[in-house]
Amino acid sequence: MGSYDEADSGTIGVINDYEDSQPATPSMEEPKVVGAAAVQAPIISSYNDKIRPLLDVIDRLRLLMVMKEGIQLPTIVVVGDQSSGKSSVLESLAGVNLPRSQGICTRVPLIIRLQNHASPRPELYLEYNGKTVPVEEPQIATAINIATDEVAGPGKSISDIPLTLVVRKDGVPDLTMVDLPGITRVPVHGQPDNIYEQIRDIIMQYITPKESIILNVLSATVDFSTCESIRMSQQVDKNGERTLAVVTKVDRAPEGLVDKVTADDVNIGLGYVCVRNRIGDESYEEARKEEARLFETNAHLSRIDKSIVGVHVLAQNLVRIQANAIAKCLPEIVKNISAKLDANVSELEKMPKALTSIADATQAMMRIIQAAKESLKKLLWRGEFDEYPEDNTKHGTARFVEMLNRFSDELHNCEESNLSKDFLTEEIKGLEDARGIELPNFLPCEAFLRILRRKVERISYLPIKLSEKYWDYIDDVVMSVLTRHSEMYYHLKVSAKGAAHDLVQKLREQSINRVKEIVEMEKLTGYTCNPDYMMEWNKLMKQQDHFINQISGTNMWPLPCSVDLQGLGEIQIEHLRKHSDVSILQQAFDLKMRMVAYWKVFKELMGPDGHGIKMMLVESPAIVAKREKLKNSIKVLKESKDSVAKIMDGIVAYDACLV
């Protein structure tokens, strides 16, 4: 951002015209004795009539609190270390007495609006906490202290809530300034330990925006480079392009001051102004006379260029810099107000309309239910994820496949799937337990069913666990979808989620009960109509003779310890040689192959590729607050836009008159 001292000519041509129309600044060579008439004249008479409309529109925007909408306004921010003479400088500009005390005088940001007013009777009033309080001039300091106590509390604590002091008085410059608490590092009794951090945060809040003009008040009695206010301003305005320094207490340390302000070791881009503040019971007229005499007669101070000394010069510089800043920023302010207004209007239009009848509530509820239903179909059925492109947890069909694959892995890796462990031991025991009256060459059905029941029982928890995971996931997705579609209607969201959860739990219970029923059915009989079962059994039974021969070991030495069976791998057989009854081994092998075939078909099927309406009228408090906030914001922005448009029209008309 360029210096406010030299604003863009296309932006502030009207300001340049104002300057051209004003009397030239007196030459430095004019007589050094200032007459009483000159001293008693208003601090500044130039600019006021022309600048007032620009300042009025900015003050109007500030009154509308447009800065809360993120619209920054040109503001003269007064900063300085504690006891730097900050309040005295403002008193000299405003011509009124501000609070004085030991320690921090200013405990809250004090917005001072000075308005040149021809009426012989000054008008002063305070604005704070939404009220306007007229004040008599002699009581202004007391009134400010009372207002400060109301805003910041009694004692010595500070607050970032501002007060506004309006001074309408003949002869004051048209200025709006913000006086901030003086910087102190050591808390006094009654102040918090972090008083420095609190003051620093308030100051940085005001001086950081590039639209702010920093008026840095420095005492001539200190080294400028050690001032905390200089350090803070350099953090946000390194080159000093928007910083003006006013040097106070020049009568206490006149020696070497001319070198300090001309050397500019601390980068004050807008220059220095040296002033002598009012002392004791001096009137403002007496103080200005004494100031003029001091800079004319003091051996050290008289060497300082007259263009940078005196309260009247400070007032002229501030008015000029302020006018340039306003003219330069005004187009951007108009642009930002319009953009913010459009954005808020657009956001308000996107919000669902307020429900005012049962019919409205019913229609809204049906729209939400239909939208949620369509979203669930996409996620859980059709595999369309355009509504949640980045949230993989909502991609239902894909997550279902993952769960099914995990179930398949668990089933294939469970102990019951290890068909080679203790080969035929369970089958032989089952046949022995089932001996009785039976047909020759027929396997006892009860032996097969006992083994089947035990195996099914051992894995029965897996399909139930899968079903529970499925429904837990479905419940999460349903709740998430309903929340998204009913977010604007709090009571509808609560009711819909409650009803949906109850429905999902009911279906979950039915589904799990059905799975348990299917598991129990598997225990009842070993019947299967799947043709793959018989094909697999026949293929496995072709290995029976070879298996029996390996156990008997006829014409073999040494006897083999294992045999390799297709579909089963290498099987240990030594433990089977203790059974001399070959028919038992044959029946056990047959029974085992039936179970292997049955189990294989079952696992393949389970493989990765297997086949209250009135309550709705009450909106969420957050939505109500947001709607009201947007409406108020739009109202403020519209008024701001209208205010700016009026002044811009006035400037155009003025330019036309000049042409």
Q: What is the pLDDT of residue 46?
A: 46
* pLDDT 10s digits, 28-49: 333 333 333 333 344 544 455 6
Q: Are 111 and 165 in contact (CB under 8 A)?
A: yes
pLDDT in tens, 56-91: 788 788 778 787 888 888 889 999 998 888 888 998
Q: Residue 270's closest CA among 294, 305, 239, 297?
A: 239
DSSP letter string, 194-255: THHHHHHHHHHHHHSSTTEEEEEEEETTS-GGG-HHHHHHHHH-TT-TTEEEEEE-TTT--T
CA distance 287 to 299: 19
Per-residue pLDDT at 246: 95
Average pLDDT in the chain: 79
Residue 416 has a pLDDT of 67
Q: At residue 399, does pLDDT exceed 50?
A: yes
- pLDDT score of 491: 74
Helices (H), 414-530: 425-433, 445-459, 461-485, 490-524
- For the four alpha carbons of 534, 537, 539 and 542, in that order, the dihedral sign comes to negative
Long-range contacts of the stretch 84-87 (C-beta < 8 A, 24+): 84/182, 84/217, 84/218, 84/219, 84/227, 84/229, 84/248, 85/217, 85/219, 85/248, 85/249, 85/277, 86/179, 86/182, 86/217, 87/179
Per DSSP, the three-state class of 653 is: helix
Q: How far apart are CA 78 and CA 214, in angstroms?
A: 6
Tell me the percentage of the chain whose pLDDT exceeds 90.
18
Phi, psi of 422, rounded to the nearest 5 degrees: 50, 55
- pLDDT (0 to 100) of residue 613: 39
Q: Is omega for the bond preceding 558 within 30 degrees of 0, making it cis?
A: yes
Angle at 383 between CA 379 and CA 385, to 5 degrees: 60
Between 492 and 308, whose confidence is greater? 308
C-alpha to C-alpha distance for 377 and 477, rounded to whole angstroms: 11
* Selection from 174, 194, 169, 171 nearest residue 184 by Cα: 194
CA 646 centroid distance within chain: 35
Where is average pLDDT lowest: 129-138, 349-358, 434-443, 521-530?
A: 434-443
pLDDT band for 295, please (50, 70, 90 cuts): very high
Nearest to 452 by CA among 584, 565, 591, 606: 591
| pLDDT tens, position by position, 413-441 | 777 666 667 777 777 777 777 666 565 56
Mean pLDDT across the stretch 549-573?
Answer: 81
Q: Where are the beta strands (DSSP E) in 518-645?
A: 562-565, 569-572
Residue 496 confidence (pLDDT) above 90? no
Q: Which residue type does 304 have?
A: I
pTM: 0.57
Which residue from 149, 113, 114 is spatially nearest to 129, judged by alpha carbons? 149
pLDDT at 525: 66
Average pLDDT over every residue of 98-117 = 80
Question: In angstroms, rounded to a whole number, what is the distance separating the alpha carbons of residues 107 and 99?
Answer: 10
When pLDDT is cut at 50, 70 and 90, the band that residue 622 belongs to is confident
Radius of gyration for the alpha carbons in the chain, expressed in angstroms and rounded: 45
β-bridge partners, 274: 247, 309
Q: What is the mean pLDDT of residues 190-216?
A: 90
Q: pLDDT value at position 418?
A: 66
* pLDDT number for residue 24: 36
**Residue 208: pLDDT band with limits 50, 70, 90:** very high
pLDDT at 17: 38
CB 137 within 8 A of CB 94: no
Query: Above 90 in pLDDT, residue 578?
Result: no
Distance CA 562, CA 68 (A): 86
CB 364 within 8 A of CB 489: yes
Interatomic CA distance for residues 631 and 650, integer angstroms: 29
